[in-house]
Amino acid sequence: MRVTIYWVTKDENLRKRIRERFDIDNYTSINGETYAEIKDEDVELLRETEKRGFIQLRFKPQ
C-alpha cells in the first residue's frame, strides 16, 4: 500500500525505529512527510502507530 506518512513525533530515535520496522526511506520532505510503500501485512501495525500519535497517515495521489 502506498501512503504518505506525516511525522508527528520529533523524537529522532523513535522515527529511526519506525523507519527500520516498516522499511521506510530516511527522506523527509520540507512538509515533514515521507512517501512509503507498506507491506499489506504491516498496515494494521502501522495504523496502531498512528493511533498512538507518532504519525499521521495521509492517502495522496502520487
The pLDDT tens digits for 1-44 are 899 999 999 999 999 999 999 999 999 999 999 999 999 999 99
Indicate whether 62 pLDDT > 90. Answer: no
Q: Where are the domains of the chain?
A: 2-58
Burial of 6-18, coded b for 16+ CB within 10 Å and e otherwise, reads bbeeeeeeebeeb
What pLDDT does 9 receive? Answer: 95
pTM value? Answer: 0.89
